[in-house]
Each structure stands twice: as structure tokens, then as C-alpha cells.
Amino acid sequence: MNKTLHEVIARKKAVGDFLLSLYITAGYPHLKDTPQIILELDKAGVDFIELGIPFSDPLADGPVIQKASQIALNNGFRISHTFEILKEVRQQSSIPILLMSYLNPIYHYGIETFLNQAHIWGANGLIIPDLPLEERGLFTPFLDKYALDLIYLLPPNAPDERLHAIDDASTSFVYVVAYAGVTGRENSDPIHILPFLQTLKKSLTHPFLVGFGIHSHQDIAFYSRYADGVIIGSAFIKYLEKVTEKNIPKKTREFVHALTSPPA
């Protein structure tokens, strides 16, 4: 369990506030951009960061993050850069950072070695989209030792027993996937998931954040009524595609501002 992450969630919950998390692919758009992007997101009021470790075959990701991952790998991104990013950010910010990686890069790196490094450089938790609940034993023996939370994804079609199993295994929050499919669908209508969100509100003992396909102020307004927070990924990655290098800090702030303030 990670204290900082829990404090941030508890603080927001206490005042009935909504959690906003942003995803950024490490090493994208340019290899060295990531620490600055994270710091800007922090300043703009984002509650925590999902830092994606690029993988060549990201099964749960749509075209936008696939492309960003490939760009980051082509930029020369290595897993060790993850720790350099953390080191740089931690000199100025304590914003919780969850490392999002597919299983194989971590498995290949050595699971405990990776978790140890993540801990040393100040990561707060992990999201591993292709790690089934049944295989969490690969990680759980080390989580307390390295003060990390493992976040599980809850699919929209999950049967009751699955829902409870995921809730039971969770230690901080549950990541609810908004629709069947890969990340970044542009026309996903959140209204379909409403009955499911209402079920979750009653059944889950942990707070839950919704991710996948969330891209507008309108989406956030909707989810703020039924969930504890949202995770935004593809929309931000896509937005960065068109931003020139020197404008990244300013544009990052503007992106968050546009999401969190009602349209004029």
C-alpha cells in the first residue's frame, strides 16, 4: 500500500471532490518531454498520473496509444528511462505516479527488481492491463515491501463474483473500463454504462475511477455524478500530436483547463 496515493484519494473523497488522472506515454512525443509534462499536469490540478511504459504490442490500447508507444520506442525509450523520469519529477513534485506497463517488459526486467526500482525512484503504484486477477501472486508478495498499490481493471461486462473478487483484491481504487474494446474510442456514449455505474456505487467498497474513451468536459461532468474520478489517456496523447515542442508546457495546462472548466 502506498501512503501518498491513499492520502490523495482520501483527501478528495473527504470533500466530495472528483479525481482527475491523466495518462502519458513515457518518452512521447520526445524522449525528454515526460518530466516536464508531468510537472505541468501537477500544477494544472491533476490528482495523479498514469505513466505508460511503451510496449510494441499493447493489446488493450487503440491506435492513438499504439502509435505513441511506437514513437517512444523509436525515440530510443528504455525501461531505465522510467526511473530517470521519476527521479526528475520527484525533485519538484510528490504527485502520485502509477506505472502502466504490459506484463512482459516487467517480467523480462525481473518483477522484484522492477518493483524495487519503482519504489526507490518514487512510484506509487502499478497498472498492468494484461495481468489477470488469478496471476496477481506474481506481484502481491512485493507490494507491501515496496509500498506500491496494484490497480485492477474492471470490465463493463464483469459478472457479480468477478466484481467482488476485484474489489477484494484492490487496495486503493478500482479502474473501471467504460466499454468493451481498446482505449481511445471517440464516439463512446457513457450513458450505456450508467446502470453498471449505479451497481458499482452500491457494490464496491473501494472508490472507482472510469477510463477508456473519455475526452471532453461533458464526459467528465457525466462521470462526476456517478464515479469517483476519471482517467484520460488517448485524448491527451492525440492532443499532444499537434503541439510543437516549445509549446508543450503551455498547451498541457490548457488541455487540463479545458477539461475541468465548463465551456465558455
Partner 1 sequence: MSSSFSRLPDTQGYFGEYGGRYVPPQLEKVLQEITEAYEKIRNDESFQKELDYLYKQYAGRPSPIFHAKTLSERCGGAQIYLKREDLNHTGAHKINHCLGEVLLAKRMGKKKVIAETGAGQHGVALATAAALLNMECDIYMGDIDMEKEHPNVTRMRILGAKVIPVVRGTRTLKDAVDAAFEAYLADPETIFYAIGSVVGPHPFPMMVRDFQSIVGKEAREQFQEMTGKLPDYLIACVGGGSNAMGLFNAFLEDKEVRMYGVEPSGLSLNEGEHAASLTLGKPGVMHGFKSYMLQDEEGNPLRVYSVASGLDYPSVGPQHSFLKDIKRVEYVTVNDQEAIDAFFELSRVEGIIPALESAHAVAYAMKVAPTLPKTTTLLINLSGRGDKDIEFVVNKYGKNYGL
Q: Which residues contact 70 (CB under 8 A, 6 or more apart)?
A: 54, 56
- Compute the residue count for the chain: 264
Site for partner 1 in 140-169 (CB under 8 A): 152-159, 162, 166
Segment interacting with partner 1 (CB under 8 A) among 14-22, 38-46, 60-68, 189-197: 60-68
User: Which segments within the chain are labelled E, that is strand?
Assistant: 19-25, 48-52, 97-100, 125-127, 149-151, 153-154, 174-177, 208-211, 229-232
**Catalytic residue check, 61:** yes
Site for partner 1 in 165-204 (CB under 8 A): 166, 177, 180-182
Site for partner 1 in 98-127 (CB under 8 A): 102-109
Is residue 247 a contact residue for partner 1 (CB under 8 A)? no
140-170 in b/e burial notation, b at 16+ Cβ within 10 A? eebbeebbbbbbbbbbbebeeeebebbbeeb
Segment interacting with partner 1 (CB under 8 A) among 19-27, 131-139, 238-246, 254-262: 131-139
Active-site annotation holder among 33, 61, 149, 219: 61
**Catalytic residue check, 50:** yes
Distance CA 108, CA 112 (A): 11
Which parts of this chain interact with partner 1 (CB under 8 A)? 55-57, 59-60, 62-63, 66, 70, 73, 78-79, 102-109, 129-135, 152-159, 162, 166, 177, 180-182
Q: Which residues are catalytic?
A: 50, 61
